[in-house]
């Protein structure tokens, strides 16, 4: 004969379903248990989810040995034999009897699903810190130590049979009441049948209307299909427009990036233009100064040329006088002085001509720089004009 504890748990699985949701002590949280031939598998014991059937038999034996009530025990951070995990606790008893643990060994915590399943099967009361046999179950699970256990079981069966007979009588009474209720329902049914005939005529009229509406619905469906076709074609066109819009947006972004680069280059050219303009202004001032110096040099050269012409005229006169007075020593001395003076004037004139040529060369260079600066200004103006064209675009 199967152990009554195991039989009661299996019967509860048959009633409530397999697998079943088992409530914890607070009844606000649940875990899942599945009964198999060799035991019960639970989902709240990660490492060792299997509980053999003998665990539940030994759990009830532990409770019986402790006068129907025992402490659960705490295996968290404890070893077998510790004050809160003794052999007189449910956790310690199962660890010793079922899993062969000895004092000082660590114990895997299993008491929570065991106590919850025993309470769910209505064998025990699961309370905080302890578990107790239900009062009506104490006699049933103590027959192994009582020689009159069979008679006690028989009395329990007789009492259960009397309860069943009483329920049958109550069921017969309910059946008689139901028959009376059925008679009333039959009369009401006849009335309802008459009403049903009237409703049938109304239903036929409604069916005719329904057929008309069905034809209209078919016409509307055909129109709807046509509209759906038009919608699909419009959707395809919209997708094409979207793709072309994306391509155009990419081109615009590319043009914008090119415009930004042009603006940067134009800003750099503007800075260069300002620098070049400042240099041109400075060079123009210097050129004016050089031109003033050059005009002074030219006036001095003109003066020197005039003086040279006058000196040459005087030399000619002196030469005439010298030819007339060759014997006179005084005139010879004056003539030598005049010749020396003429040499000096010629040397001065030569140095002035070199200075004039240098000034002329510098003037030519400045004019060339001025021309290049003007050409740079023209190019910058053209770039500015092209920049405006890009902005308009």
pLDDT band of residue 329 (cuts 50, 70, 90) is: low
Q: CB atoms < 10 A from the CB of 6, how many?
A: 18
Q: pLDDT for 147-181, tens place per residue?
A: 444 454 565 566 567 666 766 777 777 778 778 88
Contact 87, 104 (CB under 8 A): no
Rounded (5°) CA angle 142-148-154: 90
C-alpha to C-alpha distance for 35 and 172, rounded to whole angstroms = 37
Rounded mean pLDDT, 312-327: 71
Q: pLDDT for 115-150, tens place per residue?
A: 999 999 999 999 999 999 987 666 555 544 444 444
- Please say whether the dihedral angle defined by the alpha carbons of residues 147, 148, 154 and 156, taken in this order, is positive or negative: negative
Residue 91 has pLDDT above 90, yes or no: yes
- Please say whether the dihedral angle defined by the alpha carbons of residues 203, 208, 210 and 211, taken in this order, is positive or negative: positive
Rounded (5°) CA angle 187-188-194: 95
**Helices (H), strands (E): how many in the chain?**
6, 7
Task: Check residue 45 and report its DSSP letter.
Answer: -
Residue 37 has pLDDT above 80, yes or no: yes
Rounded mean pLDDT, 58-83: 92
Contact 384, 390 (CB under 8 A): no
pLDDT at 137: 63
What residues contact 104, with CB distance under 8 A and at least 6 apart? 79, 80, 81
Going from N- to C-terminal start, the domains of the chain cover: 4-146, 262-392
What residues contact 310, with CB distance under 8 A and at least 6 apart? none
Q: pLDDT for 246-255, tens place per residue?
A: 887 788 788 7
Of 367, 384, 391, 389, the closest CA to residue 273 belongs to: 384
Q: Which numeric CATH code is attached to 262-392?
A: 1.10.287
């Amino acid at each position: 004969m199967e152990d009554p504890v195991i039989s009661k748990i299996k019967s509860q699985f048959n009633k409530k379903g397999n697998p079943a949701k088992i409530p914890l002590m607070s009844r606000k949280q649940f875990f899942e248990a599945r009964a198999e031939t060799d035991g019960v598998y639970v989902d709240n014991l990660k490492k060792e989810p299997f509980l053999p059937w003998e665990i539940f038999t030994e759990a009830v034996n532990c409770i019986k040995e402790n006068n129907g009530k025992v402490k659960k025990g705490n295996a968290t951070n404890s070893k077998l034999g510790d004050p809160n995990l003794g052999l007189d606790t449910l956790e310690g008893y199962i660890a010793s009897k079922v899993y062969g643990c000895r004092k000082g060994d660590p114990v895997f915590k299993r008491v929570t699903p065991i106590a919850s399943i025993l309470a769910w099967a209505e064998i025990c009361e699961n309370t905080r810190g302890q578990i107790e046999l239900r009062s009506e179950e104490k006699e049933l699970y103590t027959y192994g130590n009582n020689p009159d256990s069979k008679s006690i079981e028989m009395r329990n069966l007789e009492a259960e049979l009397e309860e069943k007979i009483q329920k049958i009588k109550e069921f017969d009474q309910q059946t008689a009441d139901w028959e009376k209720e059925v008679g009333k329902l039959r009369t009401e049914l006849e009335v309802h049948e008459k009403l049903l005939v009237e409703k049938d005529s109304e239903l036929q009229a409604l069916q005719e209307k329904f057929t008309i509406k069905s034809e209209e619905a078919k016409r509307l469906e055909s129109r709807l299909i046509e509209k759906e076709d038009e919608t699909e074609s419009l959707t395809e066109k919209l997708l094409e427009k979207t793709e072309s819009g994306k391509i155009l947006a990419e081109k615009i972004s590319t043009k914008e990036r090119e415009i930004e680069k042009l603006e940067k280059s134009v800003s750099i050219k503007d800075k260069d233009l300002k620098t070049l303009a400042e240099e041109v202004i400075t060079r123009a001032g210097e050129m004016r100064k050089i031109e003033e110096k050059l005009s002074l040099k030219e006036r001095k050269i003109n003066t020197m040329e005039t003086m040279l012409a006058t000196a040459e005229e005087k030399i000619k006169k002196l030469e005439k006088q010298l030819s007339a007075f060759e014997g006179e020593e005084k005139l010879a001395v004056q003539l030598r002085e005049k010749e020396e003076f003429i040499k000096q004037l010629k040397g001065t004139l030569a140095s002035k001509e070199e200075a004039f040529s240098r000034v002329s060369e510098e003037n030519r260079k400045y004019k060339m720089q001025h021309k290049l600066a003007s050409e740079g200004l023209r190019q910058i103006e053209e770039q500015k004009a092209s920049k405006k064209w890009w902005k308009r675009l």
